[in-house]
Amino acid sequence: MTRLQRRKLINHIILGVSGLAAIAGLLMLVWILSDVFIRGIGAINWSFFTELPAPPGMDEGGLANAIVGTFLITTVAALLAVPLGVMAGTWLSEFGRDSRLGSVVRYFSDILVSAPSIVIGVFVYLIIVKPLGHFSGWAGSVSLAIIMLPVVSRTSEEMLKLVPHELREASLALGSPYWRTMLQVIYRAAASGMITGIMLAIARVAGETAPLLFTALNSPYWLESMNEPVGNLTVTLFNYAMSPYDDWHTKAWGAALLITMAVLTVTLFTRLMLYQRSRH
């Protein structure tokens, strides 16, 4: 066997193994999604979205308070993390690109991306929940914001780096100040990629349970203030799945289906944005 034939054989083997691995991963994804759908679709009805949780043994009731609480906690987390993340990414890309401080920030940001979410939940518990003496939706939002922050900052930095320097130079040559160049030229050119990173960060925290166990906890009642324990889907799913009641198990599968569909929708939307961006 010649060297060329050997290389072709190895290439075919690697391609075959890679294809089988991709098919195996796809089959697992389809299996998980179909199982969640089959088990959870029976719990999805009008009362699931409009009523409070019912006591065990009662078929009626829903998770309306948990749905609203999840939406509010995630929204507040995004409002906290997105501006800070974009500003951090802007500084890393435009001002701290080659500085030692910039390298340190990138290093710790990469570490924070891979940090277990339960560690972040314990950290927020120690700095917010314990000093205040109670769980709250604000603490839950802070924990999710910490998880989102490095993802948004690193994505923003990489997208801003892709903007050609010629655009900056052309804008500055026309007499535009740097802040206007950032807002009207650089951000506009990198907008689709930055929005994609933000959406992926939101999708990541939408299904987090561990941080909320130590911060927002849970509640079976309507939300009256973010300064108290707030009902949310992930912790409710955890509690219902661990319970011995069949009706709670059914609602847990419904919550799992709702979370899965929400994360899948956000992920597909961001992938579509990336695809459209790659074509232009």
Looking at the structure, tell me whether residues 18 and 53 fall in a common domain.
no
Mean pLDDT of 16-33: 95
**Do residue 79 and residue 38 come from a single domain?**
no
Predicted local distance difference test score (pLDDT) of residue 277: 67
165 and 86 inside one domain: yes
Could you tell me if 131 and 7 lie in one domain? no
Q: Are residues 73 and 7 in the same domain?
A: no
Question: Which structural domain range is residue 8 located in?
Answer: 3-43
Instruction: Determine the pLDDT at residue 119.
Output: 94
The per-residue pLDDT for range 159-192, each reduced to its tens digit, is 999 999 898 889 889 888 988 999 999 998 888 8
Whole-number pLDDT of residue 131? 95
Residues contacting residue 147 through CB under 8 Å, at least 6 positions apart = 117, 120, 201, 204, 205, 208, 211
Which helix (H) or strand (E) is 47 found in, with range?
helix 46-50
pLDDT tens for 237-253 read: 999 999 999 999 999 99
Burial per residue of 138-162, b for 16 or more beta-carbon CB atoms within 10 angstroms, e otherwise: bbbbbbbbbbbbbbbbbbbbbbbee
Tokens of 248: 């709670």
pLDDT band for 280, please (50, 70, 90 cuts).
low
Same domain for 25 and 64: no
pTM equals: 0.89
- Do 99 and 30 lie in one domain? The reply is no
Q: In 3-state terms, the chain is what percent helix, strand and coil (to 5)? A: 80, 0, 20
- Residue 279: pLDDT over 80: no
112 with 247, same domain: the answer is yes
pLDDT at residue 192, rounded to an integer = 82
- Contact assessment for residue 164 and residue 240, using Cβ atoms and an 8 Å cutoff: no
User: Domain check: are 82 and 215 in the same one?
Assistant: yes
The CATH number assigned to the domain holding 62 equals 1.10.3720.10
Residues 199 and 221 in one domain: yes
Confidence of residue 58 (pLDDT cuts 50, 70, 90): confident
Number of separate domains in the chain: 2
Q: Are 12 and 50 in a shared domain?
A: no
Question: In this predicted model, what pLDDT tens digit does every residue of 123-156 receive, in sequence order?
Answer: 999 999 999 999 999 999 999 999 999 999 999 9
Rounded to whole angstroms, the Cα distance separating 215 from 24 reads: 37
Domain shared by 18 and 72, yes or no: no
**d(C-alpha 26, C-alpha 107), whole Å:** 33
Q: Please give the structure tokens belonging to residue 280.
A: 């232009």
pLDDT single digits (tens) 91-104: 999 888 888 999 99
Q: What pLDDT does residue 238 have? A: 94
Q: Residue for token digits 């690697």?
A: 14
- Note whether 140 and 69 are within 8 A (CB): no
pLDDT of residue 196: 84
User: Whole-number mean pLDDT of the chain?
Assistant: 91
